[in-house]
Amino acid sequence: MDFNDTPQEAEYRATVRAWLEDNASEYRDPPAESWKLPEFIARSKAWQAKKHAAGYTGITWPKMFGGQGLTPMHSIIYGQEESRWHVPQGLYSIGLGMCIPTVFTHGNPEVIQRYVPKALLGEEVWCQLFSEPAAGSDLAGIRTKAVKDGDEWVIDGQKVWTSFAHASDFGIVVCRTDPSMPKHKGLTMFIVNMKAPGVTVKGIKQMSGGSDFNEVFFDGVRVNDSHRLGAVGDGWKVALTTLMHERLAVGGKPRYAPGYETLMKLAKGVEAPDGNPAIGASDVRQKIAQTYINDQGIKLTQMRALSALSKGQVPGPEQSISKVVVAKTMQDLASFALDLSGGDGFVAGADADPELAKLQGSYIGSAGLRIAGGTDEILRNIIAERVLGLPGDMRPDKDTPFNKSTAA
Amino acid sequence: MNFDFSDEAKELGEQARKLLAEKAGTGPARKAMAADAPAMDAALWKEISELGWTAARVPEAHGGLGLTVEEVAQLAEAAGGSLATVPLVSTLLATEALVLAGTEAQQAKWLPGIASGEIIATVAWSEPGAVNPANVKTVASGGKLTGVKQPVADLPVAHVAIVAAAGDDGPQLYIVDLKDAQTAAVETVDLVRRHGKLTLNATPAEALGTAGDYQDWLDRAAIILAYEAIGTASAAMAMTVDYAKTRVAFGQKIGRYQAVKHKCADMYIKLELARAHALHGVAMIGTNGAELRQAAAAARVASLDALAFCAEENVQLHGGIGFTWESDCQFYYRRNRALIAALGPRGWWADRLVRALEQRNRAAA
């Protein structure tokens, strides 16, 4: 047992590392000031084009779609090496991670030819339009409708929590095309032009004050039938292809989130109730231990999955525990550490200690992370049902025509 | 990256689980609970010894198979899941101490008998009034030990005990031939596994390694016991899940209710975290890795957390039937206490984990 690369993996890693040394030098350190959107987009496009020319995009995609036809291990090694640099990241993760694989799995040849190469090159940005105000965890309850009109479909409705909608050229949108069918059956997936007449994008201001997501409104937006992904009524099946990729993408602890080391450092400088340094207090040490066990346990669990991939096997289901553990651990750690700091943990802005400000950010951000990409509750359902084989929740509306159920 | 058991170790684990599913389990455990039942399943002990389980970790020079701690971990997990009434884990823990710290002569004296199954070995650190393995009061003086050890797992059937006592440099291990010692049975909360009281009154003992070796052995013991706990916790989880799939309340299977299924998911989450750290520990032993101490302590804490949660919620999710004497829930619920007693409480190990992390931080600074 070891944590080493196989000779082939080591060789690929060395090639990637050398290429990054030669090409990513301007991203050795984090930017002095975080990039504004236009600069972020410009830098993302330039970096993607550079990667594309060198063969580091679509690493696992089939060659016929412009990919490299390599293994998940190659893609992971590239990701590990790239994450040592501060290159612009995120603009393409949804498009290339989820939307385009859906396009090349379910689109017709002309559509694939038109959209896939430009997406891979980074010329066009994509977003995913699934969630709605009344359909989050219960995604199949969406109401945005598409009505056939000749060769076209007309889309009306509203989507929400769409990352990068404001920077996107295209999106994949799931719509209800037959409300007389039960809710999972009457859905259809389309490619939509985000610049088309009738599409309105509005930023959502989050609890954190940041604005990472959007609402998207569709008002009589016309889409040609050639831009349908999969058969009419198969939208749920198509969406599952996309979500399968999302579950793989949303996983580990965010790169800059505080961990047990933060609490360890903090506890040396603050007092426990008995007046001694808090690092000696039993509850503090227990919390450090628990945070290590959870965060490091997830890292090690991911290494178990990587080992399976490295041997060409399918990873076991154990990785399904990642996000549900990581998000809550982040919240618990931040809450405990801020509590330990008394009023100092509460003072924000210019008067705040920078380490405590980070913990405040983590406390607020973790509340969102516990919901994004599957709530804690949905993820526990998935573990119980898919891993342990327990029966699904009772769903009184499952077989009812959508327009006859109480939800409609 | 190859962070996984070898195929050979997995195969042995599979063989062990299969045999113990047939020959052990809650049925035999219930028979063993009777006051007049034998202290171990001698026929099963003979069979598993013949299969080489007790010889797994013993070097070939001493009549063993010279296998790795990976095989030991697999055997401990299988034993834990089956509640088998054989002194396998006690013997594996003692073997690990002899392999780690024994002189050539000590190994030659004890290991061949352990490998063949003729010698049953156990380990004894717990004392009246002591709550952690760093605080033992039994004293060593002039090759003799004086003190009381209890509860000692499998003492009533053991021939030799590896005993922790205060030496010149702090606590360390000693070998005590039990024919020189006074032993008695001790009742514990676990009604299946037999425990004993070892009274040492200037009893002859041989030092086994150094005080440093004792600390290293604690790491290895924590990992082996983590696998036993993981096996036991997995069995408790399987029992809960099976019941949730069949029991009907309010017109549907109780496994459909999120209050029930989410607890099952939490059992799985805690178990996978424990598995990750325990496997880390096994990898660190195999590669002489620098993270052994933290991996071992994390494995110990995470496995105790998983076992306590699975054992407790198993009773809870069974409802009233789970609280009856006839229900098998009590075996896991009681064994939970045995595995805590086996190497000291969660709190001490959590603190040991933090100390290991602090030391690494200092070393890195």
Residues of A in contact with B358 (CB under 8 A): 264
Two tokens at B45?
Answer: 């002990």
The CA distance from B162 to the nearest CA of chain A, in Å, is 29
Q: Same domain, yes or no, for B262 and B324?
A: yes
Are the CB atoms for A264 and A137 separated by under 8 Å?
Answer: no
Q: Same domain, yes or no, for B92 and B153?
A: no
Taking only the tens place, the pLDDT of each residue in A78-106 is: 999 999 999 999 999 999 989 999 999 99
Q: Which helix (H) or strand (E) holds A234?
A: none
Domain count of the fold of chain B: 3
Q: Mention every residue, 6+ apart, whose C-beta is less than 8 A from residue A7.
A: none
Give just the sign of the alpha carbon dihedral B49, B54, B57, B61.
negative
Two tokens at A156?
Answer: 């009306």
Q: Mention every residue, 6+ apart, whose C-beta is less than 8 A from residue B53.
A: B16, B75, B88
Give the model's confidence band at A254: pLDDT under 50 very low, under 70 low, under 90 confident, else very high.
confident
Taking only the tens place, the pLDDT of each residue in B83-102 is: 999 999 999 999 999 999 99
Is the pLDDT at A181 greater than 60? The verdict is: yes
Are the CB atoms for A216 and A200 separated by under 8 Å?
Answer: yes
Q: Is residue B302 part of a domain?
A: yes
Q: Is residue B2 part of a domain?
A: no
- Put simply, the answer to whether B268 touches A383 (Cβ < 8 Å) is yes
Q: State the CATH number of the domain containing residue B16.
A: 1.10.540.10
Give the model's confidence band at A245: pLDDT under 50 very low, under 70 low, under 90 confident, else very high.
low
Listed residues B189, B209, B229: the one ending a domain: B209
Is the pLDDT at A246 greater than 70? The verdict is: no
Residue of A nearest to B298 (CA): A293
Cα A248 from Cα A72, distance rounded (Å): 11
Kindly report whether the peptide bond that precedes residue A88 is cis, defined as omega within 30 degrees of 0: no
Q: In this predicted structure, what is the pLDDT of residue A379?
A: 93
Q: In this predicted structure, what is the pLDDT of residue A212?
A: 85
Cα B115 from Cα B49, distance rounded (Å): 7
Is the pLDDT at B130 greater than 90? The verdict is: no
- Put simply, the answer to whether B256 touches A390 (Cβ < 8 Å) is yes
Distances B119 to B38, B84, B153, B220 between C-alpha atoms, Å: 17, 18, 15, 21
Listed residues B209, B227, B253: the one ending a domain: B209
Facing A384 at nearest CB: one of B2, B264, B275: B264
State phi, psi for B268 to the nearest 5 degrees.
Answer: -65, -45
More confident: B118 or A249: B118
Residue of B nearest to A318 (CA): B272
Taking only the tens place, the pLDDT of each residue in B259-271 is: 999 999 999 999 9
Is the pLDDT at A286 greater than 90? The verdict is: yes
Q: Token pair 């006859």 is at which residue? A: A404
The CA distance from A315 to the nearest CA of chain B, in Å, is 11
Q: In this predicted structure, what is the pLDDT of residue A41?
A: 96
Amino acid at A262: T
- Put simply, the answer to whether A380 touches B351 (Cβ < 8 Å) is no
Q: Token pair 């084989």 is at which residue? A: A389
Q: Same domain, yes or no, for B20 and B161?
A: no
Cα A193 from Cα A190, distance rounded (Å): 10
Residue of A nearest to B239 (CA): A388
Q: Report helix, strand or coil for A341.
A: coil
Q: Is residue B264 part of a domain?
A: yes
Q: Same domain, yes or no, for B246 and B324?
A: yes
Give the model's confidence band at A247: pLDDT under 50 very low, under 70 low, under 90 confident, else very high.
low
Q: Same domain, yes or no, for B259 and B350?
A: yes
Q: Same domain, yes or no, for B66 and B178?
A: no
CATH fold of A251-371 reads Butyryl-CoA Dehydrogenase, subunit A; domain 3 (1.20.140)
Q: Token pair 């306590």 is at which residue? A: B308
Listed residues B72, B88, B119: the one ending a domain: B119
Cα A39 from Cα B274, distance rounded (Å): 45
- Put simply, the answer to whether B280 touches A4 (Cβ < 8 Å) is no
Cα B305 from Cα B267, distance rounded (Å): 10
Is the pLDDT at A359 greater than 90? The verdict is: yes
Q: Name which of B240, B266, B255, B313 is nearest A390 in CA terms.
A: B255
Q: Mention every residue, 6+ apart, whose C-beta is less than 8 A from residue B39.
A: B154, B156, B157, B185, B194
Q: Which part of chain A has CATH 2.40.110.10?
A: 126-247
Give the model's confidence band at B327: pLDDT under 50 very low, under 70 low, under 90 confident, else very high.
very high
Q: Name which of B174, B179, B256, B261 is nearest B213 in CA terms.
A: B174
Q: State the CATH number of the domain containing residue B130.
A: 2.40.110.10
- Put simply, the answer to whether A381 touches B287 (Cβ < 8 Å) is no
Is the pLDDT at B299 greater than 60? The verdict is: yes
Are the CB atoms for A187 and A232 separated by under 8 Å?
Answer: no
Q: In this predicted structure, what is the pLDDT of residue A407?
A: 55
Taking only the tens place, the pLDDT of each residue in B12-57 is: 999 999 999 999 999 999 999 998 999 999 999 999 999 999 999 9
Q: In this predicted structure, what is the pLDDT of residue A312?
A: 85
Average pLDDT score over residue span A158-165: 95
Q: Which residues pair with B176 in a beta bridge?
A: B161
Cα B253 from Cα A391, distance rounded (Å): 8
**Active centre residues of A (catalytic):** 246
CATH fold of A126-247 reads Butyryl-CoA Dehydrogenase, subunit A; domain 2 (2.40.110)
Average pLDDT score over residue span A175-195: 97
Q: Same domain, yes or no, for B288 and B307?
A: yes
Two tokens at A97?
Answer: 């991670």
- Put simply, the answer to whether A391 touches B256 (Cβ < 8 Å) is yes
Are the CB atoms for B149 and B140 separated by under 8 Å?
Answer: no
- Lowest-confidence segment of A138-142, B59-63, B170-174, B203-207 by average pLDDT: A138-142
State phi, psi for B135 to the nearest 5 degrees.
Answer: -125, 75
Give the model's confidence band at A253: pLDDT under 50 very low, under 70 low, under 90 confident, else very high.
confident
Q: Same domain, yes or no, for B159 and B267?
A: no
Across the A:B interface, residue pairs with CB atoms under 8 Å apart total 158
Give the model's confidence band at A244: pLDDT under 50 very low, under 70 low, under 90 confident, else very high.
confident
Q: Same domain, yes or no, for B268 and B358?
A: yes
Q: State the CATH number of the domain containing residue B356.
A: 1.20.140.10
Q: Same domain, yes or no, for B305 and B356?
A: yes
Q: Same domain, yes or no, for B160 and B237?
A: no
Residue of A nearest to B265 (CA): A384
Is the pLDDT at A197 greater than 60? The verdict is: yes
Cα B358 from Cα B352, distance rounded (Å): 10
Q: Which part of chain A has CATH 1.20.140.10?
A: 251-371
Q: In this predicted structure, what is the pLDDT of residue A250?
A: 45
Percent of chain B with pLDDT over 70: 100
In angstroms, the first-to-last Cα distance of chain A is 55
Cα A285 from Cα B358, distance rounded (Å): 11
Are the CB atoms for B65 and B53 separated by under 8 Å?
Answer: no
Q: Same domain, yes or no, for B46 and B89?
A: yes
Domain enclosing residue B334, as ranges: 213-364
Average pLDDT score over residue span A360-380: 94
Residues of B in contact with A310 (CB under 8 A): 1-2
Burial, B60: exposed, middle or buried (Cβ in 10 Å; 0-12, 13-18, 19+)? exposed
Residues of B in contact with A328 (CB under 8 A): none
Average pLDDT score over residue span A339-366: 95
Burial, A22: exposed, middle or buried (Cβ in 10 Å; 0-12, 13-18, 19+)? exposed
Tell me the average pLDDT of chain A. 93
The CA distance from B268 to the nearest CA of chain A, in Å, is 8
Q: Is residue B1 part of a domain?
A: no
Average pLDDT score over residue span A197-210: 95
